[in-house]
Structure 1
């Protein structure tokens, strides 16, 4: 794949209903941002016993799937510039490569064929971990049209570079779609057996709220028209963010965090958010993340 040729919004599509959900979300994003949309379908040649494999032109099937996705987009948004890209290779690698120059990658919560296990398997883990652009997992009701239901954008904030990037995306998304921002800092109090509390909880909560307000100040100034709600919540980040994102348009999190958000991308928190959130989830990397 020529990375220079992939720009704008990119949607991974496999022909499933969840793939349609990803296309619909990507259409709304491309229209709002004034960007073209690229639909990618990746397929892998079968490796195994030819005796057990029926004679099927896999490339033709893949092309038919891709054409169906492009046609769906054109029916939904006749004026949106869209093209299809068919790749023979590992889906994760092709999507990661596309993410080098794309503004946004959008994937469905589950897939078929080349995108099987897109969220719960290795494909999603690799794409979310290594794509250089933000990745949206388009969870939620496939019948819901997010571009006409603005709602809220929930963002997890802990002060890490990745969470500051997530905060920037949350404000930008809210402004694009007429949404509000709900910024949440989760604080998990972990007592040490046999030791008294080391600090006053009220004091910690106050300091955390002041820090949260400080982090949001530049975004408030950059997006003065966006309505903002900020809160510090006592509890495990996974549960706090899942609760806060109920009914939201989008949940935005940084790829890695500090404190309660440590391991947000690869650990149990991210697994729960991507697997169980009832709304789409965007994962954002810090600029020049050394592990990318």
Structure 2
């Protein structure tokens, strides 16, 4: 594909330092993917008030000038980050609110990148945050960049959290691809949390290892150059991922990762989003594969109450 036909890496720009950190990361990622970079600025101070109230927008010439300046800075930063390699950079100044604008552009992107924080405390209070709102319904893989990333981190592995869902398999595929492009390894983690009894712990631990191995085997044939380290343990998945991210350059999660827990299903990605210091990529469930026998059995056992695993780490 040419730069004109290759789906772009889209990055949201609002003039903040957080957004410029996202631009730097997005530019390097686009270069590694041989893809163009598309910087998007929503010039309204739009607030999404929900389905019933719609989007409130307010624009004037000052907003347009601020948006043009933000996009010019983004273009300059992107070229500086990837020099001397050529990078095609497009910019768009649009009028919808940031969330609706970026969701629309995500439909035609291979990756959407945003900063963890933006401009406007009032907007964040009303909307939550652009990154948080986008993470709830990712239209394509969504990368949230928390701040500047030191160059030394480029030698660290990619960290991926896996559960028994098809979303976990998509996350593994993405993590392996990114690790291959970056010339690093992958650390794949499947963790169990369960407050119940300790009976059958060995059986369920073995099943967790088998599920992890099967997922990696299905996804790794395309990336034989990537070394994979496996970890199965009893721990809180979000807490452990934030902890392990100190030795990683990127975290990858399925959008419905739950940590294989009997507790009410919650978003691990939301917790990691607020705690990690490295970029987080959230993968939506784009397709569903027929679950394996072990996946069906695991889910049934979870509903009936699987045992508590020992708190010591069990490496795979």
Please give the range of the TM-score, normalised by the shorter of the 2 chains: 0.7 to 0.9
Q: What are the superposed Cα offsets for residues 88-136 of structure 1, whole Å, 9 maximum, x if unpaired?
A: 1110000011110100011111111599549x92422321222321000
- Rounded to whole Å, the distance in 2 between the matches of 1:22 and 1:115 is 21
Q: Is the 8 Å Cα contact of residues 255 and 267 (structure 2) preserved in structure 1?
A: no
- Rounded to whole Å, the distance in 2 between the matches of 1:27 and 1:263 is 38
Match of 2:25 in 1: 25
Comparing 170-179 and 250-259, the one that deviates more: 250-259
Match of 2:238 in 1: 238
Cα deviation for residue 263 of structure 1 reads: 7.8
**Structure 1 counterpart SS, 2:163:** coil
**1:193-272 equivalences in 2 (<5 Å):** 197=197, 199-257=199-257, 259-260=260-261, 267=266, 269-272=268-271
**Structure 2 counterpart SS, 1:286:** coil
- Rounded to whole Å, the distance in 2 between the matches of 1:80 and 1:59 is 25
Q: Does 1:96 align with 2:103?
A: yes
User: Which residues of structure 2 form unaligned runs of 5+?
Assistant: 48-57, 289-316
**1:120-199 equivalences in 2 (<5 Å):** 121-140=128-147, 142=148, 144-145=150-151, 149-191=154-196, 197=197, 199=199
Q: Is the 8 Å Cα contact of residues 257 and 269 (structure 2) preserved in structure 1?
A: no
The CA RMSD measured in Å over matched residues stands at: 2.9
Comparing 55-64 and 24-33, the one that deviates more: 55-64
- Rounded to whole Å, the distance in 2 between the matches of 1:99 and 1:226 is 28
Comparing 176-185 and 72-81, the one that deviates more: 72-81
Q: Is the 8 Å Cα contact of residues 151 and 249 (structure 1) preserved in structure 2?
A: yes
Change (3 A) 1:12 1:115: farther
Match of 1:287 in 2: 286
Q: What are the superposed Cα offsets for residues 132-176 of structure 1, whole Å, 9 maximum, x if unpaired?
A: 210000124x15237x71311111111201111001000000101
**Structure 2 counterpart SS, 1:149:** helix
- Rounded to whole Å, the distance in 2 between the matches of 1:75 and 1:36 is 15
User: Which residues of structure 1 form unaligned runs of 5+?
Assistant: 48-52, 192-196
**Structure 2 counterpart SS, 1:260:** coil
**Structure 2 counterpart SS, 1:7:** coil
- Rounded to whole Å, the distance in 1 between the matches of 2:162 and 2:142 is 18
- Rounded to whole Å, the distance in 1 between the matches of 2:283 and 2:119 is 25
Match of 1:194 in 2: none
- Rounded to whole Å, the distance in 1 between the matches of 2:284 and 2:10 is 17
Q: Is the 8 Å Cα contact of residues 115 and 123 (structure 1) preserved in structure 2?
A: no
Q: Does 1:72 align with 2:77?
A: yes
Change (3 A) 1:178 1:20: same
Cα deviation for residue 230 of structure 1 reads: 0.5
TM-score normalized by structure 2?
0.77
Cα deviation for residue 284 of structure 1 reads: 0.2
Q: How many residues align?
A: 270
Match of 1:50 in 2: none
Comparing 212-221 and 275-284, the one that deviates more: 212-221
Q: Is the 8 Å Cα contact of residues 6 and 98 (structure 1) preserved in structure 2?
A: no
**Structure 2 counterpart SS, 1:176:** helix
Q: Is the 8 Å Cα contact of residues 257 and 267 (structure 2) preserved in structure 1?
A: no
TM-score normalized by structure 1?
0.83
- Rounded to whole Å, the distance in 2 between the matches of 1:86 and 1:132 is 20
**Structure 1 counterpart SS, 2:150:** coil
Change (3 A) 1:109 1:236: same
Cα deviation for residue 70 of structure 1 reads: 1.4
